[in-house]
A and B are shown apart, each in its own frame.
Chain A
Amino acid sequence: MLKESVLYGSVGELAKQIESKQLSPVELTESYLERSEKLGPRLKAYARLTPTIALEQAQAAEKEIRRGHYRGPLHGIPYAAKDLLAVKGIPTTWGAKPYANQVFDYNAAVIEHLKNVGAIMLGKAAMIELAGGLGYKYASASLEGETKNPWDTNCWTCGSSSGSAAIVAAGLAAFAIGTETWGSIVCPSAFCGTSGLRPTYGRVSRRGAMALAYSMDKIGPMARSAEDCARIFAAIAGHDPLDRSTLPVDRAAFTYSPAADLKSRALRVGWLTNAWKDVDPGVKKALDAAHKTLQRHFPSVGPAALPDGPWEDAANLIVSCEGCSAFSDLIWSGRVKELNDPLGQVGGYVNQTISGADYNTALRLREILQRKMTELFDSYDLLATASLPVPATPLSLDLSTGLAFPDPLGAIGNLCGLPALSIPCGFTEKKLPVGLQFVAKAGDDSAVLQAGKIFQQFTDWHRKHPTLNQV
């Protein structure tokens, strides 16, 4: 098996070695598979490994590269996909018992994109059942049980892209694909010390992905650095004529070039003063240091405030209504009782009673909020704050009380489809990662990626890895 230092390499580092034929995609894949077989079950990180697909793709990549046909920076790079992305011929469980044997006869668009650039699928990452679409209160709300945080296995990874974050943090793959409706990329990235991009709504096709909230679901990369996220995002972004939610060609596509696309643009950062009501002291310490780093390396960092309004209520209502529509068959049939979580078993019943008028009012509020945020982004290119005000929480925590704090930025960002990036910015005294979050206006994904890249040029938090002896 390859050394841990290789397996924790960034996509950029691995790609360089693969392109120069110093690193074999087959050997890299075998090493990740071996590590995943050993550590994956202990962390409950995978829904399943797909060694046959992985080795087949690795051999094909190796052959092509040897023949001089190098496809680009993801060629020969192993990854894991959240188990709500359809992969032809193998179960796609959506993390939920009622769908444990569900098999599609096609690949999700994202899986196809990654296949086309030569990436290697190692397996399907564990996730919260239905991505939390009908509610959940325990980390165990998953077909695989609670995913353990590689930094402290008594703690949770956050959800719903739980496995994706654990896999990247534990060095079981070079990157993973996650999804976010509200917090599902940002929170696991923060809890696990990985870099995660929630793209602008509509930039990545959701064809073949489980729908939770049609007007809020996004698919994005979780990786070792902002730059890796940019490389992966470039491979998966783009208009899809078969997904009507995707943006037009010129607005959906993203091209990445280390030299050109992320070149320094004078980013004006708005440091949010009202994103969190209370911040854990350990998180605050790391955040204050991150604030100073931003002040040193960004031309303008000033205080900014989110607009007041019932945005969280509107976001909750939209997710609740769209979720109970997406899973209406499960609710009407009563098969929600098969879900693991006590909240998920009944949440759909309550959400079905929300009126169409109230749903519509929430959508009207969204329109107003979009305008308010556009105005705010006249003064700033980016908003920055902690990804979460707390570090990773204990596995057994009742999330309905333990993680129930106001999250206006999460609500606003997801209601308006704004891009966000979470990157590690330090640790608490208990050695749990702390995340820093950047949010930009719709379509300006390159701003959050550029900010992340600059921050990571001057810090090395993203290069820290957990000691996995205890796992």
Chain B
Amino acid sequence: MKKANGRILSRREFAQRAAMLSATASIVPPAVMLEARAETSLHDQAQPSTPKLSPEGQAEADARYQQVLKLYGDRLSDEQENQVKKMCVELQPALDRIRAYKLDNGEAPALYLKPLYEREKKPQTATASTSAPPAARKP
């Protein structure tokens, strides 16, 4: 285990992280989820420019980081681990925002994009719960 600091997790903390791991790890092998590791919270080392997260968001970002370390930790240098940490924290607000957008159960996904040519007269039930905040561009 890389960079374990020996800090002992409370039962509650462990349960919270394990829950977050299972919430975020649908794409990775299930075995990984069984081994939530006790590591320093990202928040402990957060850089000044990183977004401030809610406790739940922080736990999820921590869990995500642990998941990457579990899968790929042996491939990462210290610098890369820090980069991964930063990315996990930066990803969280975007996830929080899309989850906060009110969607009705019947709002279906555009699974395979077909640009709309004709006006579709569907009832507009969804409203933005947050305004679009700054987000990193992907050039």
Q: Is the CB of A378 within 8 A of B119?
A: yes
CB proximity of A27 to chain B, nearest CB, Å: 38
Q: Is the CB of A349 within 8 A of B126?
A: no
Q: Is the CB of B83 within 8 A of A343?
A: yes
Of B1-9, B11-19, B51-59, B71-79, the one touching chain A? B71-79
The interface bits of chain A over 204-247 (1 if a CB of B lies within 8 angstroms of the residue's CB, else 0) are 00000000000110000000000000000000000000000101
Q: Is the CB of B94 within 8 A of A135?
A: no
Docked pose: A437 CA to B134 CA in angstroms: 21
List B contacts of A367 (CB < 8 A).
Answer: 107-110
What are 14 inter-chain pairs, A to B, with CB distance below 8 A? A182-B138, A183-B137, A308-B131, A309-B131, A310-B128, A310-B132, A316-B135, A349-B72, A352-B71, A357-B26, A364-B103, A365-B103, A371-B116, A442-B117
Given A201-B115, A361-B109, A403-B139, 8 more A-B residue pairs with CB atoms under 8 Å apart are A132-B138, A136-B139, A346-B84, A349-B72, A355-B24, A361-B101, A368-B103, A405-B134
CB proximity of A283 to chain B, nearest CB, Å: 16
Looking across the interface, which residue of chain B has its beta carbon closest to that of A350? Answer: B87
Q: Which residue of the partner chain, among B84, B91, B132, contacts A308 with CB atoms under 8 Å?
A: B132
Of A51-59, A112-120, A287-295, A410-418, the one touching chain B? A410-418
| Most B Cβ at <10 Å: residue of A312, A360, A443 | A312
The answer to whether the Cβ of A407 comes within 8 Å of any Cβ in the partner chain is: yes
Q: Is the CB of A353 within 8 A of B109?
A: no
> A residues engaging B (CB < 8 A)?
128, 132, 135-136, 158-160, 181-184, 187, 200-202, 215-216, 245, 247, 251, 277, 307-317, 319, 334, 337, 342-343, 345-347, 349-350, 352-358, 360-368, 370-371, 374-375, 378, 399-400, 403-408, 410, 416-418, 441-443
Chain B 18-32 interface residues, beta-carbon cutoff 8 Å to A:
23-28
List A contacts of B80 (CB < 8 A).
Answer: 342, 345-346
Chain B 86-139 interface residues, beta-carbon cutoff 8 Å to A:
87-88, 91, 93-95, 97-101, 103, 107-117, 119-120, 122, 124, 126, 128, 130-139
Q: A343-B83, A406-B132 are in contact. Are A355 and B23 (CB under 8 A)?
A: yes
Q: How many A-B residue pairs have CB under 8 A?
A: 193
CB proximity of B97 to chain A, nearest CB, Å: 4
Q: A353-B67, A371-B120 are in contact. Are A200 and B76 (CB under 8 A)?
A: no
Q: A350-B87, A353-B68 are in contact. Are A358 and B99 (CB under 8 A)?
A: yes
Q: Is the CB of A360 within 8 A of B109?
A: yes
Q: Is the CB of B139 within 8 A of A184?
A: yes
| Most A Cβ at <10 Å: residue of B100, B114, B137 | B137
Q: Is the CB of A183 within 8 A of B138?
A: yes
Docked pose: A343 CA to B28 CA in angstroms: 21
Q: Is the CB of B27 within 8 A of A355?
A: yes
Q: A355-B26, A408-B132 are in contact. Are A183 and B139 (CB under 8 A)?
A: yes
* A-B interface, 3 closest residue pairs, ranked by CB to CB distance from nearest: A442-B115, A363-B109, A313-B94
Q: Is the CB of B115 within 8 A of A361?
A: no
Q: Is the CB of B109 within 8 A of A350?
A: no
Q: Is the CB of B110 within 8 A of A370?
A: yes
List A contacts of B79 (CB < 8 A).
Answer: 342
Q: A135-B138, A346-B83, A366-B113 are in contact. Are A356 and B75 (CB under 8 A)?
A: no
Docked pose: A363 CA to B112 CA in angstroms: 9
Q: Is the CB of B27 within 8 A of A311?
A: no
Q: Is the CB of B138 within 8 A of A310?
A: no
Docked pose: A158 CA to B137 CA in angstroms: 13
Q: Is the CB of B64 within 8 A of A353?
A: yes
Q: Is the CB of B137 within 8 A of A417?
A: no
Q: A342-B83, A356-B27 are in contact. Are A350 and B115 (CB under 8 A)?
A: no
Docked pose: A347 CA to B136 CA in angstroms: 14
| Most B Cβ at <10 Å: residue of A362, A364, A400, A405 | A364
Looking across the interface, which residue of chain A has its beta carbon closest to that of B88? Answer: A350
CB proximity of B27 to chain A, nearest CB, Å: 6
List A contacts of B110 (CB < 8 A).
Answer: 215, 363-364, 366-367, 370
List A contacts of B137 (CB < 8 A).
Answer: 182-183, 312, 403-407, 410
Docked pose: A159 CA to B137 CA in angstroms: 12
Looking across the interface, which residue of chain A has its beta carbon closest to that of B119? Answer: A374
| Most A Cβ at <10 Å: residue of B67, B88, B136 | B136
List A contacts of B76 (CB < 8 A).
Answer: 346, 349
List B contacts of A408 (CB < 8 A).
Answer: 132
Looking across the interface, which residue of chain A has its beta carbon closest to that of B93? Answer: A313
List B contacts of A442 (CB < 8 A).
Answer: 115-117
Docked pose: A61 CA to B53 CA in angstroms: 62
Looking across the interface, which residue of chain B has its beta carbon closest to that of A443? Answer: B117
Q: A312-B132, A366-B110, A408-B132 are in contact. Are A352 and B115 (CB under 8 A)?
A: no
Q: Is the CB of A313 within 8 A of B114?
A: no
CB proximity of A318 to chain B, nearest CB, Å: 9
Looking across the interface, which residue of chain B has its beta carbon closest to that of A399? Answer: B139
Q: Is the CB of B139 within 8 A of A159?
A: yes
